[in-house]
Amino acid sequence: MLERCGIGISSGIVVEKAYVFRHSEVYVSYDTVDDADAALQEFESAYRRTHAEIDAIEADGDEGEAILAVYKAMLEDPDYLSLIRGNIKERKHNAAWAVEAATDKYVSLLERVDDDFFKERIADLRDISGRLISEILSSSRLEINVPYPAILVADYLQPSEMISMDLSNVKGLCLDKGGITSHIAILARSMNIPSVFALSSLSFEVSDEDTIAMDGKTGNVVINPDRKTRSLYRKKLDKEIRKEAALGEDIEGAVTADGFAVKLMGNIEGLDGIESLIKAGADGIGLFRTEFLMMLPDYADNEKRSAIYRETVERMSPYGPVTFRTYDIGGDKIPNEMKIKEENPILGWRAVRLCLEEKDLFRDQLISILKASAGYSDVRLMFPMISGSEELQSVIAFLDSVKDECREKGIEFADDIKIGTMIEVPSAAITADVIARYVDFMSIGTNDLIQYTIAVDRSNEKISYLYRPLHPAVLRLLKHIVDSAHENGIPVSMCGEMAGYADYLPILIGLGLDELSMAPSSIAEARRRIRKLSRSSCASFVNHVLSLSDAKEIEKALKEFNCGKA
């Protein structure tokens, strides 16, 4: 019996045989060419075949179609294609080398972006380049065919492979590589395939038809479990089935035992996430990450962008508000024509700092959101990365000028559109009492707030142990933010990953947060846990933990509280 622990991606318990797949290596030579025109022709031919191959893939569901759209956008990126052609014409690279060199350059740019979503687009780009190189070298790409009900164990998996393969026998997924925001992770969750990623060299340690027991929530994987372990996993599976059936039938509100109502809202990146929010009984959209839409083809078209925003509002109007966060872009996370080089993009030209300089880009988005709000009273606009009241006032002044422009042009919009700000920078958190005077609501982005407060890069494995959401400094900032909002008579929400972690709920409820916004899959469990809590006891618990001196003590206290209450 062999045990491994990776990253739980998509929840579910599975005990099945394994089916192992590993990609074969493709070797690229680094010989220059004498005839650049012939090499260029070779690339163009391979490009056409690759494009046709992508076009021929049929995707099931909105998620698959959206991912294929991203692939096509990458494949048609003029800067990427120009770099490849330049490598051939100017540097005399052979066609395969030219593609590899261009891809490596883009990858190096993406690796410097402090955003997991964009870092994990590297896998998508590698998939595109791999297809191009395979076509150039005429090397066949093996199709993945799982011939019996099994857990697919692979070194990695490309989204296009997953979209095009027959998944009827795939009961679970275990990958050596992959992250929680990768397209494969998105697909696995949307298809409800229990999955564990980042399992190191598991695909080299497992053979076909070995038995695997896996838990997609905890990330635990057991190879060839003994009878006792199998029995344990079977019992966990039975319990999970009963629990999911009960949760799925219950979409009523989240109210604590002593009558404190908490709105449970969802975080999404596009239209494909709306249906899952409705099914989960979400109270609205607490965070629409609009920057991810910039990866879609034709998004720059004002009418098409407005149509996406409008459809979001219309579909969610029976359920609750829609909160559009304006573009949180910066560093390399921006359109190609705007690329700049920065040593530390996480502290650089990003979000509202960029938008206030790129006013045409910002104006177009604000107009689209304002147009979407016409006739609806529950549309909210939220600004990211605000550092203080001065910056916030500048953004609001610009918004007011855009509203005036809309009035002059006869563009209708909701006059009562709610204006809010993210609190994710320590300077904004500390001055939350001042910021609260200028907005209708505040939303805490814990992902950045935690790493900025503790000065720890959450993507750096060497110091990941320092990333502690329950650090006393973080909790004190959270309390100050919530108190500041309530003293100014406005609601405060949390839309960072911390909001979707059910074990943190006693602290979040005790702090008095009015709204929690999370992944759709987390809503049902949060609702169940909230109903078992008493706000008054949670508030007393928060007062206690705020007196503790370190995160370890607080984590221990929270574990003991949850064992007694949940």
Within a domain: 340? yes
Q: CA Rg, the chain, in Å?
A: 25
pLDDT of amino acid 268 = 86
pLDDT of amino acid 26 = 72
Looking at 80, 102, 137, the residue that finishes a domain is: 137
Mean pLDDT estimate for the chain = 85
319, 414: one domain? yes
242, 307: one domain? no
Helices (H) and strands (E) in the chain, counts: 23, 17
pLDDT of amino acid 60 = 58
14, 90: one domain? no
231, 281: one domain? no
Residue 69 lies in domain: 36-137
> Cβ contacts of residue 160 below 8 Å, gap of 6+?
54, 57, 68, 71, 127, 131
Within a domain: 28? no
- Residue 495 designated active-site: yes
146, 133: one domain? no
CATH number at residue 454: 3.20.20.60
Looking at 137, 165, 185, the residue that finishes a domain is: 137
130, 150: one domain? no
Within a domain: 29? no
147, 129: one domain? no
Within a domain: 220? yes
Distances (CA, A) of 14 to 11, 195, 222, 246: 10, 10, 11, 20
Within a domain: 432? yes
Looking at 198, 224, 246, the residue that finishes a domain is: 246
90, 149: one domain? no
Q: What are phi and psi of 25, to 5 degrees?
A: -75, 140
Which residue stretches of the chain have pLDDT < 70?
25, 58-67, 113-120, 139-142, 181, 183, 190, 241-252, 295-299, 329-350, 457-465, 565-566
Within a domain: 30? no
Residue 62, token pair as written in the block: 């909105």
491, 390: one domain? yes
Which of these is catalytic: 174, 355, 495, 538?
Answer: 495
**Quick one: 183 exposed, middle or buried, by C-beta within 10 A (0-12, 13-18, 19+)?**
buried
CATH number at residue 152: 3.50.30.10
Task: Enter the pTM of the model.
Answer: 0.63
125, 214: one domain? no
Closest to 459 in 3D by CA, of 215, 172, 110:
110
Within a domain: 487? yes
Within a domain: 27? no
Q: What is the largest CA-CA distance in the chain?
A: 79
Packing angle, helices 78-89 and 95-111, rounded to 10: 130
Residues 335 and 347: their CA atoms lie apart, in Å, by 19
449, 470: one domain? yes
Q: What are phi and psi of 517, to 5 degrees?
A: -120, 130
pLDDT in tens, 262-278: 999 998 878 878 988 99
pLDDT of amino acid 49 = 87
Asked if 517 contacts 447 with a C-beta cutoff of 8 angstroms, the reply is no
Domain count, the chain: 3
Q: 10 Å Cβ neighbour count for 30? A: 10
Residue 76, token pair as written in the block: 């048609």
Which of these is catalytic: 174, 183, 355, 471?
Answer: 183
- Residue 471 designated active-site: no
16, 92: one domain? no
Angle at 22 between CA 20 and CA 28, to 5 degrees: 170
